[in-house]
Structure 1
Amino acid sequence: MLTVALHTLRTRWVTLIGTFVALALGVALIATMGLGLASTLDAPAQRPERFAGAPVVVRDSDELRVPSPIGVRTQPLARPRGLEPALAATLAASAPTVADRSFPVRVAGRDLVGHPWPIAAFGGYRLVAGREPRRPAEVVVAGDASQIGTAVPVRTPAGPSMRTVTGVVAPVPFEQAVFFTGAEAEKLSPRLDNLVVLASPEVVRRTAGPDVQVLTGADRHLADPAPHRDREALIAMNALLGTAGGVTMFVSVFVVASTFAFAVAQRRREIGLLRTAGATPGQVRLMIVVEAAVVGVLASAAGCVAGSYGAPWLAALLVREKLAPAWFAIGAYRWPYHVAFWTGLAVALTGVTVAMVRAGRVRPVEALREASVDARAMTAGRWAAGAGLLVTGLGLLCWRVIADPGDALHRKTYTTQPMLLITAAALLAPVVVRPVTRLLTWLPAQLPGATGMLVRENAAAGVRRTAAVAAPVLVTVALAGSLLGTTATIARAKTTELRQQTRAHLIVRAAGGIDDRTVARVRQVPGATVMASATTAVYTLEDGTALVRSAAYAVDPRELTAVRRLPVRAGNVADLDDTGIIVTDEWRRHTVGERVGVWLGDGTPASLRIVAVVAAGTGGTGVYVTRHNAPGTVPDRLDVAWAAGTDPGAAEAAVRTAVEPAGALVQSRERWIRSEQPGTSRQTRIGYLLVLGIALVYTGIALAGTMVMATTGRARELATLRLSGATKRQVLLLVAAEATAVVVVGTALGLLVTAVVMLGIQGALIALSVWSPVVLPWGVLAATAGTCALIAVVGAVLPAAGLVRGTPGVTPAAWRVRR
């Protein structure tokens, strides 16, 4: 049987080429993703940038550290307090020190960051023209020498002013800064962020004590503007590559299993002849396994070679798209190749398992069959697997909607949720193929001529063929509809929430904050009700083990109800005071009147009373406290609502005049909602393009291979049509129509899966008190279905054209049994 298996590989290469290419592509992608993941796990530590030239940097802890039964839990603080002046004085008495401060500055319409000039030397800044600032009104900026001596408008936390540029420094890649004298920077930003100490680390540690950070070596990057930039980028890359690798595994097993199962179904007469010649079921199964093993080994080896070229290309793409640090590159690792090779071989053997069992059941009498009608396409095992996956998928969908609707909106959930339903639909496809095909082809069958009737009968009779071709179309359409539809629906829901919760007519925002004088001027506008809010955070220790950070807004409770329409579940938002908090129903403890222990944005512990509970919605609602419980914050947003009878045009003009010195942005309610409308991040968009691209490539391979396999197996049928009087054009038109009909069936099943998934998302949104319509990417779905139809038609018509060429009659080319 081993010799027979090798001979069948040589003579049936057309039926196995699609499987080979699919496996090779899958292994190449797994090797590529594995090499990328290995390179992220062994990445170098982020280098210091702004303090690369500083021997020791002392800073207050920017993390909240809370002890728990399973260890110390940490979270980054929303508002670090800065170093205590007394500690700075103690350190300055023991060694020379340089104070560092950072504060928002707007120069000539550009948002920059301000620093004292003495700190510039430690970050690689160097003067290329002019001199350092020596007076309060002087600054140094990055740019060209032509700016020296010019007066530029500068807005600082102290307000707007004109400053003279006395020097220019070369730009650096990690920030855009403007430098003031040390005394002026201290006046503008009293908080001491960092202290560079020109002494040995041991001396500094003894003097500073254990409650502050003493940074040396590579740890100095923790004082940089984005200390965790590289780590966050690598975590995002891990999620992206992991998702793509998971989809690759899913689709490759799906395609390989479908292709092998159909190949065995096409070879029933051949296997029947082998059984008639004396082959046992075990020998037939061994033949199938050997074929799969040979294809698996060759395809896996080819895939590993392709992956070695694909990984550097992927790394360059991630760097170019700014999804990876600029230094990221693929390292020399071997284990990803081993994982990819053996996974590919396992996929090949797993995919052939069902086909192997079915092959062993073929009886010798199958050699005498002439009809190609599939009388029994569903086996007991297929029924059990399909029904089990369907029940599991629907059960998980319903459970999430009822028990944890917020989890249904998480990317990991809605990326993997459709896979169970897709697999279940593919396994149960033969059950619905015949009725769906008859329904979709009913109208064409009523038209004059036999083409419509033949399309209907052939597709309904060849259930296995129809299901095998429809399966990859089902995967691609369902993935595209579910993933893109879910993200679009969630984005629409977030926009709906913004619209429902905002009563304000104008929104005023400023990245660096809005000073109290500007807020007071806006409040003086006749007919204006103004709520000033500051973004902060609160922290809770849930179940004694999980330190959870919640976005919070510091507001004046007297103005909250006038400009916001919160989805209140219990309590009264008007009861908010300095001892209270408004929480969402996602909190572990959310009973009105109950006191909860929290840590404020600067790490200060507090015990606050729950005065109201609001619906969490899609996650953007947040909690509310008063300004008393948000120390160190300044308002960054003003919500302005007009009283009845106020002239909106005149009032808006007055607001714009009031905030003009602060350089704040004024937007109407509708314009602000449009600007805040959530969009798909670049990382998510590229990830989905990668995932859907993989699915579409696999679909093309599976469709082309299956259509070629199915068409070459219909040589006798097509010859009969020619002998019956059908012209070449009519035969090719019939084949094209059948291929299109099968793609339509696969598209319909994919849309059915998409509909079920989107109903789950809609249910989750309703459970979260968000009433928003479902959004489907009809353009992408149409393009996907059209591409699948084109591939299927070409894959069917080209081999059919070769089979029907020549004069109709009993010729060897028309009637011999196709191998």
Structure 2
Amino acid sequence: MIRLAVRTLRYRKGGFIAAFLTMFLGAAIVMACVGLLETGVRATVPPQQLAGADVVVAGDQSFDHLEEYDWAVASERVRIDAALVDTVTAVPGVEEANGYVFDHPAPEGTIDAIGVVAESGTSVDQLQELIDAELSDSAITLVGDDRGLAERPEAMSGAEGLTIIAGVVASWALLIAMFGVASMLALSIQQRHRELALLRAVGSTPGQLRKLVLGETVILAAIATGLAILPGRWLSEFLFQQLVDSDVVIGGLMFHMGWIPMVVAITAALLAAVGGAVVAGGRAANTRPTEALAATRMPERRPFALWRLLLGLVLLAGASTLIIVTMTINSGKLASGTGSPAVLLLTIALAVLSPVLIRPLVALLHPLGALTGQSGRLAMLNARAGIDRTAAVAMPIIVLTGIATGLLYMHSTGKNAVHEEFVDSQTADAVITAEDVDAQLVEEVRTLPGVAVASEYARSTGYVEEPFDDPANREGSGRQGGWTLEGTTPDGAGAVLPAPVTEGTVEDLHGDAVALDASNAEELGVGLGDPITVRMGDSTVIEVEVVALYTAGANDETLLLPIDVLTAHTTEGHATEILVTSDGDTSTERVITEIEELVADEDGVTVTDSETLAAEYAEEQDSEAFPIYMLVALIVSYSAISMINALATSTNARRREFGLQRLIGSTHGQVLRMLCIEGLLAAVIGVLLGTISATTTVVAFSIGRADTVYPSGSPVIYPLVVGLTVLLTLLATLVPARRALRHRPVEVAAE
């Protein structure tokens, strides 16, 4: 049977090429996405200035935020005590130890890193262990390519972002690729039912047929996945470079792709291929010889498989759960975490259940066949008689329409919500940016005509350590990535606060003090005068007292701190912005003109109004959205190719049917019109079910993320997706049909 399987591969080129392409592209895409994931996890940054050091000592940028939290990364540089240079120098085996400062200025008594050169004959691993024994928990040793993290600690945050993006997309790609491979193989084997049935009739046992189908599938999968290794790596490198060019990933991060992505992609493709072969081959193998002979002459009507029904219902239940969670528990910024998987699960669930769902839809649309003449009536009869074939063609259309429409509108809705939140949070009329903001400049701005409030401003990210920031009480605030820390002066808080103070006063915002939203305070279980322990951006833990509460709403995730307290724990060490609010009687344009005249002689000082800030933020979002669109386009392209393969395979398998039609009097044009109507019918049904999936999940996401049933996004997206889907459907149906009709009817009818 294995020899027969090899020969079968030679003489069934059309169907096997379609299956090969599906497995090849699926493996390459999965490999590329997992390669990005590995790059983010490894977070490798080759050293530059520290290239000559064998071991590097630096601050530990990562930490465990209590046992309940996952590993987190400090948003600011974690510096180390300069006295550590002497400590490290005294370690046996150290030839030389030098302190380095990469981000100026470092606070007195601190440095950024220590470069250590080992004595000749000293093992680097042994020296690292000896140095580790002399360090506190806040410092770590780095060797190899990890030494570069001391120069660019922000690479860890960039790698974390890449890991999240790649992890999400890799899971999407894995799910869709496995579904696509299994579906394509099932369709390919289903189209060969006549051939397999004849093998049963001439004496082949069920076991031999299973071995045949499985053997040819494994051979094909091994070739396809093996050839996908190099293209998968090239694609992964290309995607990584696009992320770097879009400033989503820091440029110093080194691309890395080892054996893990290859194993994952190959394993996924093989499992999907074997699974599809086992299920589809099992049906053919279990056919009795007498039924097999009958099946060679008439369409097969088979009951819906129980395993498929159960799988579809499980996926449907999972999607329903995610939809409910998106609208309730994971509302706000967390909505995308469940909204995106929901559209994938629901779309695939409808595709799996398509034979059950399509039957009533075909019956409902059957009267329309009369409007398109004899070809239309015949197309409707073909669709009703071959529900399995119609469902197999409609499945990739459902996937393409549902995933493309759902993910694109989800992304645009989320992006619009983020932009609106940014605009709503802007209370200042103008922002002055400088390399170092001094108190004198702030005072000069404050005395300008029309200026009501002027405040130094800085921003960072931190975590609440005590009381414990329970994720169950976040109400979708999105604080799993930490709290936003904003610094201001007591008399300038009006330029920062997004809402009026309800308790306490911001005039007390000096020393170890904090102001926060009242609803967040309630979630934390604190009130006016209570202490809060905060881990600052440089991983330093401080305790502050609540001196003011305000009402900014559920999406606020800010802790307002005194400017000197915050900047003491930032990489810059000082404020870089001044927020300015006008008195209401003077126009914003006039105030900005006054400020520009004041700073005209200052180097490196810029003045920006709120509208320009919003426009710049929108451009930044568009730049960050590019890689998301690119990755989504990759998955959608694979779905489109799977759809083309399915349609082409299905059409090519009907050459004998077309020959018989022409022998009984149908013309070349009538057969093409019939196929065109069949293709349009499959497209309409597939688009309808895909639209149901996308609409359900996008509306749920919009409710959870933006508190409205109306999603955001260009109205062009949906008709563009539908138009492209219909066009591909017709091309993938008619092009192979025209080739099939070139043969003489007598020849193909006798096949």
What's the TM-score, normalizing by structure 2? 0.78
- Other-structure match for 2:294: 368
Offset at 1:370? Answer: 8.1
> Which whole-Å deviations, capped at 9, do the CAs of 1:446-489 have from their partners, x for residues lacking one?
64633444444433443222221222222233332233322221
Question: What are the ranges of 5 or more consecutive residues in structure 2 without an aligned counterpart?
Answer: 89-95, 120-130, 471-479
Determine helix, strand or coil for the equivalent of 1:775: coil
The one-letter code of the counterpart of 1:478 is: G
Residue matched to 1:489: 413
Q: Deviations over 1:562-600 (max 9, x none)?
A: 7754499x8678697444430585686154445422245
Question: 2-side partners of 1:538 and 1:698: how far apart?
Answer: 41
Could you give the per-residue CA deviations for residues 588-634 of structure 1, whole angstroms, max 9, x where no partner exists? 6154445422245563621423743756756x742223346435465
Distance between the aligned counterparts of 2:466 and 2:304, measured in 1? 50
String of CA shifts for 1:333-383, please: whole Å, max 9, x gaps.
666555544443322111223323433443433533588667556332222
State whether structure 2 residue 589 is matched by structure 1 residue 589: no
Q: How does 1:311-710 map to 2 (within 5 A)?
A: 323=249, 328=254, 337=262, 339-363=264-288, 364-365=290-291, 367-368=293-294, 375-376=301-302, 378-406=304-332, 408-410=334-336, 413-437=338-362, 445=369, 447=371, 449-504=373-428, 506-532=429-455, 533-541=457-465, 549-556=482-489, 560=493, 564-566=497-499, 577-578=509-510, 579-583=513-517, 589-593=524-528, 594-600=530-536, 603=540, 605-609=542-546, 611-612=548-549, 621-627=557-563, 629-630=565-566, 632=568, 634-662=574-602, 663-677=604-618, 679-680=620-621, 685-686=626-627, 688-700=629-641, 702-710=642-650
Partner AA of 1:529 in structure 2: A
Q: Which residue type is aligned with residue 328 of structure 2?
A: I
Contact 1:27 1:300 in 2 (8 A): yes
Aligned-residue RMSD, C-alpha? 4.9
Which whole-Å CA distance do the structure 1 matches of 2:62 and 2:216 have between them? 60
Deviation at 1:424, TM superposition (A): 0.6
Task: Measure how far apart 1:765 and its partner are.
Answer: 1.9
Identify the residue that residue 14 of structure 1 maps to in structure 2.
Answer: 14
Partners of 2:213 and 2:149 in 1: CA distance: 59
Task: Tell me which moved more, 384-393 or 244-253.
Answer: 244-253
Cα distance in structure 2, aligned partners of 1:473 and 1:510: 51
1:749 maps to 2:749 = no
**1:64-463 aligned within 5 A:** 76=74, 78=76, 191=108, 194=111, 224=151, 226-229=152-155, 231-232=156-157, 234-236=159-161, 238-239=163-164, 241-304=166-229, 307=232, 323=249, 328=254, 337=262, 339-363=264-288, 364-365=290-291, 367-368=293-294, 375-376=301-302, 378-406=304-332, 408-410=334-336, 413-437=338-362, 445=369, 447=371, 449-463=373-387
Q: Is the 8 A contact 1:508 1:664 kept in 2?
A: no
- Residue type of the alignment partner of 2:607: V
**Displacement, 1:302?**
3.3
Which residues of structure 1 form unaligned runs of 5+?
104-113, 116-188
Look up the SS of the partner of 2:524 in the other structure: coil
In structure 1, C-alpha distance between the alignment counterparts of 2:242 and 2:297, rounded to whole Å: 53
Mapped to 1, the partners of 2:533 and 2:492 lie a distance apart of 26
Kept after mapping to 2: 8 A contact 1:537/1:600: yes
Q: How far 1:30 sits from its partner (Å)?
A: 4.6
The 3 A distance-change label for structure 1 pair 419 and 717 is same
| Percent of residue pairs identical | 23
Name the SS of the counterpart of 1:624 in structure 2.
strand
Task: After superposition, give the CA deviation of every residue in 1:672-718 in whole Å (9 maximum; x if it has no partner).
Answer: 22222374576763354245324413532x33332233223434543
Q: Contact (CA 8 Å) 2:410, 2:702: kept in 1 or not? A: no
Residue identity opposite 2:524 in structure 1: R
Distance 1:575 1:434 in 2: 70
Q: Distance in 2 between matches of 1:464 and 1:306?
A: 34
Q: Structure 2 residue aligned with 1:798, among 735, 739, 747? A: 735
SS state at 2:388 partner: helix
Displacement of 1:21: 1.9
Query: What does the per-residue CA deviation read over 1:100-156, in whole Å, with 9 as the maximum and x for residues that have no partner?
Result: 8788xxxxxxxxxx77xxxxxxxxxxxxxxxxxxxxxxxxxxxxxxxxxxxxxxxxx
- Quote how far apart the aligned CAs of 1:88 are: 11
Among residues 702, 707, 717, which one is paired with 1:762 in the alignment? 702
Match for 2:22: what amino acid? A
| C-alpha distance 502-319 of structure 1, shift in aligned 2 (>3 A) | closer
Q: TM-score, normalised to structure 1's length?
A: 0.72
Alpha-carbon distance between aligned partners in 2 of 1:430 and 1:196, rounded to the nearest angstrom:
64
Larger Rg: 1 or 2? 1
Q: Quick check: 338-347 or 492-501, which moved more?
A: 338-347
SS state at 1:630 partner = helix
One-letter code of the match for 2:559?
V
Alignment partners' CA distance in 2, 1:216 and 1:681: 36
Q: In structure 2, the residue corresponding to 1:512 is in which secondary structure?
A: coil
Contact 2:533-2:541 within 8 A present in 1 as well: no
**Deviations along 1:61-99, whole A, 9 cap, x unmatched?**
686978967999885374878869x999999xxxx9999
Kindly state the Cα deviation for residue 390 of structure 1 after the two structures are TM-superposed: 0.4
Q: Say whether residues 1:813 and 2:747 are aligned partners.
A: yes
Q: How many Å apart are 1:312 and its aligned residue?
A: 6.8
The answer (yes or no) to whether the contact 1:529–1:641 under 8 Å persists in 2 is yes
Contact 2:24–2:228 (CA under 8 A) maintained in structure 1 = yes
- Offset of 1:763 from its aligned partner? 2.4
Q: Distance in 2 between matches of 1:379 and 1:40?
A: 41
- How many residues of Structure 1 are paired with residues of Structure 2 in the alignment? 710
TM-superposed CA distance for 1:421, in Å, is 1.5
Question: 1: CA distance between counterparts of 2:201 and 2:54?
Answer: 85
Q: Which amino acid aligns with 2:746?
A: P
Gap change, CA 1:664 and 1:482, over 3 Å in 2: farther
> Aligned partners of 1:601, 1:741: CA distance in 2, in Å?
58
Point out the more displaced range, 471-480 or 382-391: 471-480
Task: Give 1:669 shift.
Answer: 2.7
Q: Which amino acid aligns with 1:251?
A: I
Q: Kindly tell me: are residues 354 and 693 of structure 1, through their superposed partners in 2, closer, same or farther at Cα, counting changes over 3 Å?
A: same
Any idea what SS the aligned residue of 1:609 has? strand
More helix by share: 2
CA contact (8 A) 1:472 1:699 kept: yes
